[in-house]
């Protein structure tokens, strides 16, 4: 079946511009996560959504970062006024539920380069 | 707070030899533990998980991991390494009452033919 998809796969933007990254989770998965992977670094948790509950935004690094999930499915991560330190691979994952030990299924990521 | 440590940035092993990738964790209660693998130019894939029960967990591609509560470790093992096992491996932890999964920094495994 279809996995998690993300778009665009690559994004190059100028410092100060806003960007939107999209994630389509696996159909039926109620939990959705965003992570950031910087070169040579592990995965940094950004935000997660579980069903209709309020999202856990505790990992967002600044108020320039925001995310929404429409209709319990597609999610968009928005970075305003991008900075060079925002350059990274942004990964989206979904799972059957965040309320148990379900494994996460990851998308291929969006590589963001801020020039 | 939860944390995961992967003490080795890189592990080198010859093909056919056993491999171990180390992971230690810290949580306030009982943990859920995971291993994921990231092959070059591919997304992260789930390998195996420990929830409860048998301390030895078997997963994909012949990998297994041993949960050791007293040492708070969850080392990944494989009896005989393949060149195709070369990848970046991540250990992850979540406590039973939480929703956030914390990932380690990753360990790069190189298997030489």
Mean pLDDT of chain A: 91
Q: In angstroms, what separates the C-alpha of B90 from chain A's closest C-alpha?
A: 8
Classified as helix, coil or strand, B73 is strand
Residue B102 touches chain A, beta carbons under 8 Å:
yes
Contact (Cβ atoms closer than 8 angstroms) between residue A56 and residue A71: no
pLDDT of residue A99: 63
Q: In angstroms, what separates the C-alpha of B14 from chain A's closest C-alpha?
A: 24
Count of other CB atoms within 10 angstroms of residue A62? 11
pLDDT of residue A9: 95
Count of other CB atoms within 10 angstroms of residue B17? 12
pLDDT digits (tens, 9 = 90+) for B74-92: 999 999 999 999 999 999 9
In this complex, the residue of A42, A98, A105 whose CB is nearest that of residue B99 is: A98
Residue A88 touches chain B, beta carbons under 8 Å:
no
Give chain A's length.
115
Query: What is the separation of C-alpha B22 from the centre of its chain, rounded to a whole number of angstroms?
Result: 7
pLDDT of residue B57: 95
For residue B99, pLDDT over 80 is answered with no
For residue A10, pLDDT over 70 is answered with yes
Which residues, in sequence order, are bridge partners of residue A56? A48
CA distance A56 to A32: 11
For residue B96, what pLDDT band results from cuts at 50, 70 and 90? low
Contact (Cβ atoms closer than 8 angstroms) between residue B94 and residue B32: yes
pLDDT of residue B68: 95
CA distance A7 to A77: 11
Q: Which residues of B46-69 are buried (b: 16+ CB within 10 A; e: fewer)?
A: bbbbbeeeeeebebeeebbbbbee
pLDDT digits (tens, 9 = 90+) for B25-39: 998 888 899 999 999
pLDDT digits (tens, 9 = 90+) for A12-50: 999 999 999 999 999 989 899 999 998 767 889 999 898
For residue A98, what pLDDT band results from cuts at 50, 70 and 90? low
pLDDT of residue A102: 81
CB pairs under 8 A between A and B: 52
Which tokens belong to A72?
């319990």
Residue A93 touches chain B, beta carbons under 8 Å:
yes
For residue A76, what pLDDT band results from cuts at 50, 70 and 90? very high
Q: In angstroms, what separates the C-alpha of A45 from chain B's closest C-alpha?
A: 7
In this complex, the residue of A99, A104, A109 whose CB is nearest that of residue B101 is: A104
pLDDT digits (tens, 9 = 90+) for B45-64: 999 999 888 899 999 999 99
pLDDT of residue B97: 66
In this complex, the residue of B49, B51, B104 whose CB is nearest that of residue A42 is: B104
């Amino acid at each position: 079946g279809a996995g998690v998809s993300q778009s665009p796969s690559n994004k190059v933007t100028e410092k100060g511009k806003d960007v939107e990254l999209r994630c389509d989770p696996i159909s039926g998965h109620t939990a959705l996560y965003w992570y950031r992977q910087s070169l040579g670094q592990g995965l940094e948790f950004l935000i997660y959504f579980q069903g209709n509950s309020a999202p856990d935004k505790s990992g967002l690094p600044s108020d320039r970062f925001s995310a929404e999930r429409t209709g319990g499915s597609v999610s968009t991560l928005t970075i305003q006024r991008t900075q060079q330190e925002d350059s990274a691979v942004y990964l989206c994952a979904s799972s059957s539920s965040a309320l148990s030990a379900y494994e996460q299924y990851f998308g291929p990521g969006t590589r963001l380069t801020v020039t | 707070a939860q944390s995961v440590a992967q003490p080795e940035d890189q592990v080198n092993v010859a093909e056919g030899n056993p491999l171990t990738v180390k992971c230690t964790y810290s949580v306030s209660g009982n943990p859920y533990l995971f291993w994921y693998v990231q092959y070059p130019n591919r997304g992260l894939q789930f390998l195996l998980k420990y929830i409860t029960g048998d301390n030895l967990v078997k997963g994909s591609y012949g990998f297994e991991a041993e949960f050791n509560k007293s040492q708070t470790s969850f080392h990944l093992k494989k009896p005989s390494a393949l060149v195709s096992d070369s990848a970046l491996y991540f250990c992850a932890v979540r406590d039973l009452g939480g929703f956030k999964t914390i990932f380690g920094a990753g360990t790069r495994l190189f298997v030489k033919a």
